Amino acid sequence: MGDIDNRKCTEITRRELRESWKDKDGVRYSLDRKRLLCYDGDDDELKSYVIPEGTEVICDGAFQFCADLHTIVIPNTVTHIGECAFSGCKSLHSIVIPESVVYIGGGVFPQNICFYVDCTCNKHFVFIDYVLYTADMTKLVAYLGVSLLYSIPSTVTHIGDYAFNNCTTLVNIHISDSVTHIGCCAFDGCEALLAIDIHNSVTRIEKWAFNGCMSLISIKLSDSLKYIGDEAFSCCEALNSINLPKSITHIGVNPFSCCPKLKDVRCESKHYVVRGGALYTSDMKKLIAYFGQTHSFVIPNTVISIGESAFADCELLRQVNIPSSVKRIEAHAFECCKLKLSLPNSIEYIGESAFACTHLTETLNIPSSVKYIGRLAFNHTSCKRIIIPDSVTHLGEEAFSECESLRSIYIPGSIACLPKGLLSACYELKRVVIQDGVKRIDIRAFAYCHGLQEVVIPNSVMHISRNAFLCCESLRTIIMPKGKKELFAKQLSQYKDIVQEV
């Protein structure tokens, strides 16, 4: 079984949780008792626990928040221990890994406490000087020491997912020239790490590998590096320069998001280009990352797609000019920005949280070219008026939720379903007119709209969720066509006295 299959084996499904069995200690299991899903009690109550014989899998994050857990016994039937299973157990200082265990996920153990792993009976892992490796010493699974300096042994080729995650004591690390692969979140949260030199053997850096390394000033990338995963260097607040070598063939989602001091990005790869404070694909059709230090920015008219998180958290930026060439604005593209912009009549796709927590103009006229608006796309924006065009056929859940200044919105009939939480917590919203064509109003679509007074429902609506208008204390009138009141009697039972048929 490969790493991908192993990781899937420890994931919890919604169905499992829904159908799970809970023991007297508050620990949930799958119905066949083979999979330990999670602890589902008060975090400070579980002090010690013996996992019963027959359990085969300890799922991801199973005891993650049990800060007072000091003893855990794992039976010799367990084969898989999932990611972050014991990561928050600060009172747990040691653990015995039985011989049956063949897979240990990333970030399983608590950091910064000199955690001890006894795996003397296990042939798949070895524990040396507070570091857990695979038995052949080729993969570093977890660093559990508190040293300021650490040198990775020359046998290691793979630094595992979460291997040094949240190791806040580590200041310097030497990566041996045997290492080829740095895993997901490998150095995530290593706040004291000052500098790192990645040898030419490294060909792949996975997503979030150095996320949150707030003291990291410089990093030298391997001349053999081919792959940089999503947001690999995000939130490196002290990072001021980086050189992308010519060997790179893949760069994921904005690798430099939330790096406010980054000014000097050089690129030697033929697959990418740096121009005027931004990183693009070589054909200039996709803008991957903006790292400029200016108050305004003009996107070139070659750009078709603004990449995921491309401008996210750009604190200095106040104005962006988007050309009519742009068709797609990907997820989180402008999240948490304070800027002025207008959307051209070429955009077809607006991704999840694309403008979440962004200061926009008072009236938002979504272009008539837009067909898709993703989940949370305009969550918590400052708009007072929103006009959705008839071209939109998909609205994601909570797309306009928490727009606290929103007073009016036009919802066209082209949208068959008003999804979960669409306009929830829009406190200033007073009146909503839903156009003919809408068929469903889902759960909590208008929940917590405390100022909402009137809703006009068209003849096309065939289903209204029972909690669609949850906690709308000011609601005084619900207008609907004749003959519809009886249809919605159960769903709107709490508002039956204010329904008017016209």
Architecture per CATH, 147-270:
Alpha-Beta Horseshoe (3.80)
Model confidence pLDDT, tens digit, residues 243-298: 999 999 999 999 999 999 998 899 999 999 999 999 999 999 999 999 988 899 99
Q: Please tell me which residue, 168 or 42, carries the higher pLDDT value.
A: 168
Tokens 């084996």 locate to 9
Cα–Cα distance measured from residue 20 to residue 23, given in angstroms and rounded to the nearest whole number:
10
**Dihedral angle at the C-alpha atoms of 489, 490, 491, 494, nearest 10 degrees?**
80
**269 neighbors 246 (Cβ within 8 angstroms):** yes
- Within the chain, all domains assigned CATH 3.80.10.10 are found at 1-117, 147-270, 360-502
Confidence (pLDDT) at 393: 94
Model confidence pLDDT, tens digit, residues 348-397: 999 999 999 988 888 889 999 999 999 999 999 989 999 999 999 999 99
Residue ranges with strand state E in 292-445: 296-298, 305-306, 319-321, 328-329, 349-350, 363-365, 372-373, 385-387, 394-395, 408-411, 417-418, 431-434, 440-441
Report residue 114 as tokens: 């000199």
**244 neighbors 232 (Cβ within 8 angstroms):** no
Confidence (pLDDT) at 363: 87
**Confidence label for 1 from pLDDT (cuts 50, 70 and 90):** low
Q: What is the DSSP string of 377-398?
A: TTTT---SEEE--TT--EE-TT
Q: Nearest CA to 81 among 100, 105, 49?
A: 105
Residue 113's CB: how many other CB atoms inside 10 A? 15
What are the Cα distances from residue 307, in Å, to 141, 170, 206, 286, 472? 32, 33, 18, 7, 37
Confidence (pLDDT) at 188: 96
**345 neighbors 368 (Cβ within 8 angstroms):** yes
174: enclosing H helix or E strand: strand 172-174
Architecture per CATH, 1-117:
Alpha-Beta Horseshoe (3.80)
Confidence (pLDDT) at 2: 62
Cα angle, residue 259 at apex, residues 254 and 264 outer, rounded to 5° = 90
Query: Which residues are CB-contacts of 380 (< 8 A; sequence separation ≥ 6)?
Result: 356, 357, 401, 402, 403, 404
Q: Residues 153-182: what's their mean pLDDT?
A: 95
**485 neighbors 491 (Cβ within 8 angstroms):** no
Residue 340 has pLDDT above 90, yes or no: no
Model confidence pLDDT, tens digit, residues 170-220: 999 999 999 999 999 999 999 999 988 888 899 999 999 999 999 998 888
Among residues of the chain, what percentage have pLDDT more than 70? Answer: 99
Residues paired with residue 104 on neighbouring β-strands, in sequence order: 81
Name the pTM for this structure: 0.89
Cα–Cα distance measured from residue 107 to residue 83, given in angstroms and rounded to the nearest whole number:
6
Report residue 64 as tokens: 């993650």
Query: Which residues are CB-contacts of 405 (< 8 A; sequence separation ≥ 6)?
Result: 382, 383, 384, 428
Mean pLDDT score of the chain, rounded to an integer?
Answer: 93
Confidence (pLDDT) at 500: 87
Candidate CATH numbers 3.40.630.30, 3.40.50.2300, 3.40.50.10490, 3.80.10.10; the one for domain 360-502? 3.80.10.10
